């Protein structure tokens, strides 16, 4: 096909669907994006997910929890009958459908069961997260095939096998607003022990000046220790904010330590400072303690 189609139905609302779907929308292709189960960009923190959905729905048709009655080909065109989020029944015809619904590892042809290593119930080798070694064998696992971190590569060494501290989990989705997920999985956090701080970018100074004032950042901390645990967010410059958070997490900083670090003015990163201050204050409240005096003005 040498010209762009007029209308595409995108199935999936994960990172690939969002990056490709939004790129096509900006090339003037009319996009209808259909997700499943309410998920978007792998975000699991509902208010952050809702903020993303609201921003995307302004740019193209976006339903993170699609409800289809029928799918067919009519005169060669993918045709969908579905109920839109406002409860209307719709029938729409498309030029193409893009399935961005994930990939399944193709491990079967490798016949790993003959390699003398232990496999889990999905046929993926069991391995040590700190060395990436499969049992005591000279087999190591790296990349998407480990099923744990499908976004970056680590190397291993043999025969001088050494345990390493793995980098904090960190992912970015390059849609707009950008999405970042860093640190402990939100679903795995002990909600009784976790305090959430937030910043909305609707009213954040630099984001407003750039007219990119959409999105929400949540940062999570351990109520008892005041140590950062992770974050989920969507908004402007999330790739940079995400790096600051990833570095702070990797260095195991407490909120007080992070808040003593410099923040320039006027930058989007001041939004991160707002979220950190919010969660810091809540941690002290939770412990019925008085917070220490922190530098009041942003500065370099």
Instruction: Give CA separation, 143 vs 150, 155, 180, in Å.
Output: 6, 9, 20
User: Is the CB of 146 or the CB of 280 nearer to ligand FAD?
Assistant: 146
Tokens of 36: 């499943």
* Interface of this chain with ligand FAD, residues 48 to 67, rule: CB under 6 A: none
Count the Cβ atoms, other than its own, within 10 Å of residue 265. Answer: 13
Residue pair 60/31 in contact by the 8 Å Cβ criterion: yes
150 binds ligand FAD (CB under 6 A): yes
| 109 touches ligand FAD by CB under 6 A | yes
* Residue facing ligand FAD at closest CB distance: 143
Chain length of the chain: 300
Instruction: Name which of 99 and 152 has its Cβ closer to ligand FAD.
Output: 152
Q: Which one-letter DSSP state was computed for residue 130? A: T
Instruction: Tell whether residue 102 is a contact of ligand FAD (CB under 6 A).
Output: no
| 96 is a site residue for ligand FAD (CB under 6 A) | no
Element holding 216 (H helix, E strand): strand 216-222
Among 110, 164, 210, 261, binds ligand FAD (CB under 6 A): 110
Query: For residue 275, what are its two tokens?
Result: 């979220």
Q: What angle do CA 57, 62, 64 make, to 5 degrees?
A: 120
**CB-based contact 19:173 (threshold 8 Å):** yes
- x-or-dash pattern for ligand FAD, window 173-212, by CB under 6 A? ----------------------------------------
Beta carbon nearer to ligand FAD, 28 or 106: 106
How far apart (Å, rounded) are the C-alpha atoms in residues 56 and 8? 16
Specify the DSSP class assigned to residue 254. B
164 binds ligand FAD (CB under 6 A): no
Query: In the complex, what is the shortest distance from the CB of residue 181 to ligand FAD, in angstroms, rounded to a whole number?
Result: 12
Q: By CB under 6 A, is residue 152 in contact with ligand FAD? A: yes
Q: Which of residues 11-50 bind ligand FAD (CB under 6 A)?
A: 16
Choose the stretch contacting ligand FAD; rule: CB under 6 A; options: 63-71, 129-137, 141-149, 263-271.
141-149
33 within 8 A of 56, measured Cβ to Cβ: yes
Number of residues that bind ligand FAD (CB under 6 A): 10
Question: Contact positions toward ligand FAD, by CB under 6 A?
Answer: 16, 106, 109-110, 143-145, 150-152
């Amino acid at each position: 096909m040498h010209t762009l189609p007029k209308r595409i139905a995108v199935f999936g609302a994960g990172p690939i669907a969002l990056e490709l779907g939004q790129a096509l929308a900006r090339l003037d292709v009319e996009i209808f994006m259909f997700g499943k189960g309410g998920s978007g960009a792998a975000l699991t923190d509902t208010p952050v997910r809702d903020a993303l959905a609201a921003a995307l729905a302004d740019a193209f048709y976006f339903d993170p929890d699609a409800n289809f009655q029928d799918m067919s080909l009519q005169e060669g065109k993918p045709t969908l009958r579905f109920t839109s989020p406002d409860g209307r029944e719709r029938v729409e015809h498309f030029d193409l459908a893009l399935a961005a619904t994930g990939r399944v590892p193709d491990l079967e042809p490798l016949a790993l069961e003959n390699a003398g290593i232990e496999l889990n119930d999905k046929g993926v080798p069991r391995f040590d997260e700190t060395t990436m070694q499969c049992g005591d064998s000279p087999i190591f696992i790296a990349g998407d095939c480990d099923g744990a971190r499908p976004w970056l590569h680590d190397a291993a060494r043999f025969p001088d096998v050494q345990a390493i501290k793995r980098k904090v989990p960190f992912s970015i989705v390059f849609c707009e607003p950008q999405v970042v997920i860093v640190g402990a999985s939100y679903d795995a956090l002990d909600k009784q022990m976790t305090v959430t701080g937030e910043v909305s970018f609707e009213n954040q100074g630099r984001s407003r000046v750039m007219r990119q004032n959409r999105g929400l950042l949540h940062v999570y901390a351990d109520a008892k220790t005041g140590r950062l645990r992770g974050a989920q967010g969507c908004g402007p410059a999330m790739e940079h904010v995400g790096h600051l958070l990833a570095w702070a997490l990797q260095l195991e900083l407490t909120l007080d330590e992070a808040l003593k670090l410099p923040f320039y003015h006027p930058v989007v990163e001041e939004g991160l400072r707002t979220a950190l201050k919010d969660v810091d204050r809540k941690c002290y409240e939770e412990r019925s303690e008085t917070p220490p005096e922190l530098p009041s003005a942003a500065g370099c």
